Structure 1
């Protein structure tokens, strides 16, 4: 695809910035929604001419720095000096477990701090509220509303100086493909619905299922003749290894703050049958089919209904329409301009 946000976009900074992120893990070894949201947000900064580095805080498989989609990734095993990178940085960025330590460094070195919030769990807002966040990024309207409730409940908490909503960016043309034949679940841990997939596969032996191992959590992988198990997949391979084999995506998650995999599936017009979490309702909109995760009868009814060509065509049409509505370009333009504004 072309540039997500052109380097000449309005609001661009006059000089390249050094953006240094500190996170626990990154692709291609670790492929969860939070990490791919981060990658999708850092790519346009690179395209605008900024130097972007991601320093890892956990040991992994890589021992030397490597490039991932234009982003320089520095493994913990490389044993390079992270504080030196901080001293040279114009902007620091972090998410999840690395927010407290990165915020402390930002305060100590007097650098603006960007905190990306991926969920509404109390530690997310508590860690940010410890102070030092110049820009908070929320992945949905409902998450921002939850953050406002937190700050209203704890008036002594330090609010971020600025906030922005950036929906997890999905570049549709990087995922769009001709759908396949399987009913698919991505990340088969219990909270994502591994037991739901297993139960439906037993109920529907006439249908093909695809169980994709996730980046975290115990995986529920049924040993059934109609279930194909796929190993953990790098995000760059999802189109070929997952969506090209998928007819319907299951998302019976107990919690999703947004649900990036569902939006990736919409790019191919793949219908998504999901549990109605606030995040999934906001992300999928009219492109989603919602069934309570405890209603196995309901899931089976919807899946069998989608076997009818007319019903499937209608669901595909709605999925594609919702994908078009989620064009990430406006969010990413606002994001890049907000980061660049931190140094003015």
Structure 2
């Protein structure tokens, strides 16, 4: 089966969760023997087609018309800002459109309900519920022919390592909680903090002797360069539809302190330590509780249990079978 995807960038930056989730899903299709091609909407360093994990990647080219390529596709997959153009191509040739939904913003559901979506893929149960409510409230939109929940796949073996001693934040973008991170670092000068620059958003940076800031890290190097240095992961986000980095940290038994967003509560489950984003005292207290050896050991064990519960095998099988049913 020839499968075409229209995406923004490829390979994805590690902490661009939507792009990384799409890559994981497309890689699974390629592993099952499908011919998977990703057509990019953004100019990249490479102007020539290349292969990544069995997926053929096609950079933008003046003579290449995605809409014509869609004629021979068994399915057209897209997400975010590329959905309208991908939908037009799929509609023009009567090809099934698959929309990957990574957030609960109205624009996502509006595009998904354009009337041509054969399959909508939600990254969490709470997102699927939000989609149902949105379509009930907007009856003029066409609900997708089929909907499925596929959690962002994280293969634990790719991220498992021995935790380090730093308190870590991944992405110094303000909505990810950079302000909370810097307040904690200032309050706790005897602790070692680690910040990983994000691949998007304006980065909020300061200079403190107990904080090391490193550049964005490729996904293949996260275990060695980030999680092997991390004792506690902080996720004081304003919004997370799921929370991929938290799930990656669980694979190493790293406790995660997080804002109680619906996505983080669903992804981390009982392993998460939840504190309101604006309660900096609460964040400090949570970190200090983990100084106790027994408390840390229990939190680490809970993280490993949750990681096993989130094994992606069933999700990936459900995803591949949903695509193959579009034939």
Give the TM-score taking structure 2 as reference length. Answer: 0.97
User: How far has the Cα of 1:155 moved from its partner?
Assistant: 0.6
CA contact (8 A) 1:27 1:235 kept: no
User: How far has the Cα of 1:31 moved from its partner?
Assistant: 4.5
User: How far has the Cα of 1:302 moved from its partner?
Assistant: 0.7
Structure 1 unmatched runs, 5+: 1-16
**Structure-2 residue corresponding to 1:270:** 254
Q: Please point out which of 195, 210, 221 is paired with 2:205.
A: 221
CA contact (8 A) 1:64 1:77 kept: no
**Structure-1 residue corresponding to 2:74:** 90
Is 2:118 the counterpart of 1:131?
A: no
Q: Please point out which of 304, 320, 324 is paired with 1:336.
A: 320
CA distance in 1, matches of 2:81, 2:95: 19
- Over residues 144-189 of structure 1, what are the superposed CA-to-partner deviations in whole Å (9 max), with x where a residue is unaligned? 1100111111111011000000011100001100001110101110
SS of the equivalent of 1:196 reads: helix
CA contact (8 A) 1:211 1:221 kept: no
**Structure-1 residue corresponding to 2:186:** 202
SS of the equivalent of 2:104 reads: coil
**Structure-1 residue corresponding to 2:35:** 51
SS of the equivalent of 1:76 reads: coil
- Please say which of residues 113-122 and 64-73 is displaced more in the overlay: 64-73
**Structure-2 residue corresponding to 1:164:** 148
Change (3 A) 1:103 1:66: same
Change (3 A) 1:334 1:108: same
**Structure-2 residue corresponding to 1:12:** none
Give the CA RMSD over aligned residues: 1.2
CA contact (8 A) 2:104 2:130 kept: yes
CA contact (8 A) 2:49 2:58 kept: yes
Is 2:309 the counterpart of 1:321?
A: no
User: How far has the Cα of 1:206 moved from its partner?
Assistant: 0.6
CA contact (8 A) 1:29 1:61 kept: no
| Paired residues, number | 327
**Structure-2 residue corresponding to 1:307:** 291
- Please say which of residues 55-64 and 120-129 is displaced more in the overlay: 55-64
Give the TM-score taking structure 1 as reference length. Answer: 0.93
CA contact (8 A) 1:267 1:323 kept: yes
CA contact (8 A) 1:59 1:76 kept: yes
CA contact (8 A) 1:263 1:283 kept: yes
CA contact (8 A) 1:273 1:291 kept: yes
Change (3 A) 1:40 1:131: same
CA distance in 1, matches of 2:156, 2:234: 19
**Structure-2 residue corresponding to 1:8:** none
Structure 2 unmatched runs, 5+: none
SS of the equivalent of 1:179 reads: coil
**Structure-2 residue corresponding to 1:22:** 6
CA distance in 1, matches of 2:39, 2:75: 13
Change (3 A) 1:29 1:250: closer
